[in-house]
Amino acid sequence: MEAVQSWVSEHKLTSIGALWASGIGASLAYNRGSKSPLKPSLRLIHARMHSQALTLAVLSGAAVYHYYEKHVGETSENIASPSMATPAALQAE
């Protein structure tokens, strides 16, 4: 799992593009199998909309995750700093 996270963090645009393309493919495959009476152009439009919604959901989740990591990192640094000082170091100040 850590290897996937590091690859995604290094190749952000590639992973977003791959997610978008796989969303289009999955939606087209689902619509093709459902025997809906839609024209192929409408199926493509619906597939694009589904893929964009999936991409926006993933980007929103990534933004929340990034904010959470940054916020928790700042909080743990603020908590860790005073406790690491020894009483002698505090008296010297």
Residue 92, pLDDT above cutoff 80: no
% of the chain at pLDDT higher than 70 = 81
Residue span of the structural domain in which 30 resides: 2-92
Predicted structure pTM score: 0.62
What's the pLDDT at 83? Answer: 52
Write out the two tokens for 42.
């409408």
% of the chain at pLDDT higher than 90 = 14
What's the pLDDT at 88? Answer: 56
Rounded Cα gap, residues 42 and 36, in angstroms: 11
Which of helix, strand or coil describes residue 16? helix
- Domain total of the chain: 1
Full DSSP string of 60-75:
HHHHHHHHHHHHHHHH
Rounded Cα gap, residues 22 and 91, in angstroms: 61
Rounded Cα gap, residues 37 and 69, in angstroms: 46
pLDDT band at 48 (very low <50, low <70, confident <90, very high): very high
- Please give the single-letter amino acid code of residue 69: E
